[in-house]
């Protein structure tokens, strides 16, 4: 009929030529949708705010104090907790992305499209890849920034570093599954609230540190590093089943993704195979991560506690020998300038031979559940008794306060002035008093060792000198080996502050000229003021009693 085109007859495909794959356009459309959603998800306001909140403190941490040394094999574990914020944002954002058509009333129109619901769900699952890579980039950038800090120690574990991004993917998959289970964003918010509550009570419960780490926590998404705290340990003593835990989380991600696809009407047989493989991975990796530490790990921990010299590396700098666990060796470059500054004003030939030796804190609560076979009471007695030329320091990130190690060195350099005679082994919380002339000299030597140490010393000494009636027993300056301290009286504090205000050259000449008398316990604080050419403290401490040895 005129005006109508002639019907086109499609001839069958020639023999031997493969038929056209009808599923290829569907896969192209799925990947195209995944690409679009993958670009939108990282730009969601919640995700952007979470990323900004992560970057801001990390960027602000570019400036570290001189006594702070990042431990990279602990910092990589810390990125997992930090990325929980990004994971929460991705859970909500992914849930809202799947529910977008329902919120806008466009869900019926999707019935006219070539992509069924399960393929759209698959596209949303694939769109989680960019935000997962964003989490990996943030964690890696933070570790790289910490590695540039002078004195950074340790080596990050790639498996620990990868766990945080996997948590982000798990949160996004959970948000997509919840969107397929219930067409309300409120469900995702309630689920997030429940997850946060469970994590809080499981991980930050006050009972966590009483008996060490509960191995059952590895069945959860996140296990914090309970070895850090005030103290850090070498990487080979951690004993964290990080690899099995990552495999366990990967299996959970696959299970959640398969459940979301099944709920969306995906093909049952292929998804059943994926679910079975994921369930097998969870069933294998879950119990393996709960195994107790192997005997060789327990032996290494005992050796590090009881015989640290057998597993440490020593290096000598002048009269001081530093013995540290291998990965902590870069700390010496930060410690030694302050230590040498303490010893430099001493007369030639009077600097003592000292050994600064790292120790794992035997009183760390986290050790109770791991190293119960160690006689911590005996170790504490030995540590407190010590030797005249040995200075124990804990494996802290730095020495805590900038004045602690210099004060310990100065305390030994002037003969360890102590009120009440030698400290008996096993004494509880021994009191060491900066008494007489040796105490004043020790305070000045430590205060001039570095700008950070002087700032710390001036703060404490200023408090002691300003109001001698505030604490009749004086103010405390912590030593580098834990609960020991030096008690400073108001008179000695004011005198040390006056010395810090004098030119170093003048004080050094007086110190070298009168070294024997100034380091004698029989020399009083007031006599030290005369020998050093410093006016005694003024009226503010006129009624304070000098603490003479």
pLDDT tens-digit profile of 410-430? 888 887 654 433 443 444 444
- DSSP calls for 386-442: --TTEEEEES-SS-SSTTHHHHHHHHHHTT---TTSSPPTT-SS-EEE--HHHHHHH
In a domain, 295, yes or no: no
pLDDT of residue 293: 80
pLDDT in tens, 271-290: 999 999 999 999 999 999 98
pLDDT of residue 26: 80
pLDDT in tens, 221-244: 888 765 544 457 888 888 889 999
Pair 355, 389: CB distance under 8 Å: yes
Query: Average pLDDT, stretch 181-196?
Result: 91
* Residue 512: other Cβ atoms inside 10 A: 14
In a domain, 231, yes or no: no
- The residue behind tokens 């529910």 is 99
pLDDT in tens, 63-73: 444 446 788 88
Given its phi and psi angles, is residue 150 left (phi above 0), alpha (psi -120 to 50 degrees) or beta?
Answer: beta
Please indicate, yes or no, whether residues 48 and 191 belong to a single structural domain of this protein: yes
In a domain, 9, yes or no: no
Between 372 and 436, the more confident residue is 436
Per-residue pLDDT band for 218 (boundaries 50, 70, 90) equals: confident
Q: Rounded CA gap, 137 and 155, in Å?
A: 18
3-state secondary structure of 354: strand
What's the Cα-to-Cα distance from 36 to each of 27, 174, 329, rounded to whole Å?
14, 20, 49
In a domain, 324, yes or no: yes
Please indicate, yes or no, whether residues 309 and 197 belong to a single structural domain of this protein: no
End-to-end CA distance of the chain: 125
Query: Average pLDDT, stretch 117-124?
Result: 92
pLDDT of residue 480: 53
Sequence-ordered list of residues with C-beta below 8 angstroms from that of 305, at least 6 positions apart, any chain: 360, 362, 371, 374, 379
Please indicate, yes or no, whether residues 187 and 307 belong to a single structural domain of this protein: no
Residue 143 in this model has a pLDDT that exceeds 80: yes
Query: Average pLDDT, stretch 11-30?
Result: 60
Boundary (domain end) residue, out of 178, 203, 228: 203
- The residue behind tokens 């009808």 is 22
Q: Rounded CA gap, 101 and 232, in Å?
A: 50
For all residues of the chain together, what is the average pLDDT? 78
CA dihedral (157, 161, 167, 172) positive or negative? negative
Number of domains in the chain: 2
Please indicate, yes or no, whether residues 198 and 320 belong to a single structural domain of this protein: no
Q: Rounded CA gap, 447 and 434, in Å?
A: 14
Residue 372 in this model has a pLDDT that exceeds 50: no
Beta bridge partners of residue 153, listed in sequence order: 71
Boundary (domain end) residue, out of 203, 234, 261: 203
Q: Rounded CA gap, 181 and 256, in Å?
A: 12
In a domain, 226, yes or no: no
In a domain, 462, yes or no: yes
Please indicate, yes or no, whether residues 310 and 174 belong to a single structural domain of this protein: no
Edge-to-edge order in the sheet of strand 312-317:
312-317, 320-325, 354-359, 390-394
pLDDT of residue 440: 86
In a domain, 336, yes or no: yes
Please indicate, yes or no, whether residues 316 and 186 belong to a single structural domain of this protein: no
Q: Which of 362, 387, 395 is nearest to 480 (CA)?
A: 395
Please indicate, yes or no, whether residues 308 and 183 belong to a single structural domain of this protein: no
Please state the φ and ψ torsions of residue 396, each to the nearest 5 degrees: -85, 160
Q: Domain of 86? A: 39-60+70-203
Please indicate, yes or no, whether residues 375 and 519 belong to a single structural domain of this protein: yes
Please indicate, yes or no, whether residues 351 and 499 belong to a single structural domain of this protein: yes
Please indicate, yes or no, whether residues 195 and 320 belong to a single structural domain of this protein: no
Between 129 and 313, the more confident residue is 129
pLDDT of residue 209: 39
- Report the run of H or E that residue 459 belongs to, with start and end: helix 451-466
Residue 471 in this model has a pLDDT that exceeds 80: no
Q: Rounded CA gap, 234 and 34, in Å?
A: 43
Please report, for the chain, how many H helices and E strands are present, in that order: 21, 7
Boundary (domain end) residue, out of 139, 172, 203: 203
Sequence-ordered list of residues with C-beta below 8 angstroms from that of 405, at least 6 positions apart, any chain: 335, 338, 339, 356, 391, 393, 399, 480
Pair 69, 149: CB distance under 8 Å: yes
Please indicate, yes or no, whether residues 520 and 407 belong to a single structural domain of this protein: yes
In a domain, 238, yes or no: no
pLDDT of residue 437: 84
């Amino acid at each position: 009929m005129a005006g109508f085109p002639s019907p086109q007859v499609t001839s069958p495909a020639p023999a031997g030529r493969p038929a056209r794959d009808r599923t290829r356009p569907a896969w192209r459309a799925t990947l195209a949708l995944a690409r679009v959603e993958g670009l939108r998800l990282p730009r969601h306001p919640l995700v952007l705010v979470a990323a900004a909140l992560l970057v801001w403190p990390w960027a602000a941490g570019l400036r570290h104090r001189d006594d702070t040394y990042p431990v990279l094999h602990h910092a990589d574990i810390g990125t997992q907790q930090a990325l929980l914020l990004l994971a929460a944002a991705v859970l909500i954002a992914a849930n809202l992305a799947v529910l977008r058509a329902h919120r806008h009333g466009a869900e019926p129109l999707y019935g006219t499209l070539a992509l069924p619901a399960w393929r759209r769900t698959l596209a949303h699952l694939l769109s989680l890849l960019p935000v997962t890579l964003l989490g990996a980039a943030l964690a890696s950038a933070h570790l790289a920034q910490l590695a540039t800090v002078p004195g950074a120690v340790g080596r990050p574990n790639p498996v620990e570093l990868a766990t945080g991004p996997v948590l982000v993917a798990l949160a996004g998959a959970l948000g997509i599954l919840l969107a397929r289970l219930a067409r309300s964003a409120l469900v995702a918010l309630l689920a997030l609230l429940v997850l946060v509550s469970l994590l809080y009570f499981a991980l930050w419960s006050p009972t966590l540190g009483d008996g060490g780490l509960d191995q059952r926590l590895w069945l959860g998404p996140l296990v914090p590093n309970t070895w850090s705290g005030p103290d850090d340990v070498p990487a080979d003593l951690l004993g964290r089943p990080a690899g099995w835990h990552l495999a366990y989380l990967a299996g959970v991600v696959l299970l959640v993704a398969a459940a979301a696809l099944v709920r969306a009407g995906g093909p049952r047989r292929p998804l059943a195979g994926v679910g079975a493989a994921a369930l097998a991975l969870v069933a294998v990796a879950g119990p393996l991560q709960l195994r107790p530490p192997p005997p060789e790990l327990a032996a290494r921990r005992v050796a590090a506690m009881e015989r640290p010299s057998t597993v440490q590396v020593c290096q000598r700098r002048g009269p001081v020998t530093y013995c540290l666990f291998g990965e902590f060796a870069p700390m010496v470059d930060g410690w030694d300038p302050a230590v040498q500054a303490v010893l430099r004003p001493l007369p030639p030939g009077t600097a003592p031979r000292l050994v600064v030796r790292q120790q794992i804190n035997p009183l760390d609560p986290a050790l109770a559940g791991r190293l119960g076979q160690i006689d911590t009471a005996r170790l504490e007695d030995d540590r407190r008794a010590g030797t005249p030329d040995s200075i124990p320091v804990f494996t802290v990130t730095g020495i805590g306060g900038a004045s602690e190690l210099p004060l310990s060195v100065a305390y030994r350099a002037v003969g360890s002035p102590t009120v009440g005679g030698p400290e008996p082994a096993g004494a509880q919380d021994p009191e060491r008093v900066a008494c007489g002339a040796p105490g004043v000299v020790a305070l000045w030597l430590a205060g001039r060792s570095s700008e950070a140490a002087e700032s710390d010393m001036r703060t404490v000494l200023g408090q002691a000198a300003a109001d001698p009636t505030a604490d009749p027993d004086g103010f405390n300056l912590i030593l580098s080996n834990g609960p020991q301290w030096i008690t400073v009286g108001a008179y000695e504090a004011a005198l040390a502050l006056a010395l810090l205000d004098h030119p170093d050259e003048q004080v050094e000449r007086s110190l070298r000229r009168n070294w024997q008398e100034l380091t004698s316990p029989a020399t009083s604080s007031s006599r030290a003021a005369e020998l050093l050419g410093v006016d005694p403290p003024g009226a503010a401490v006129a009624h304070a009693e000098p603490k003479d040895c």
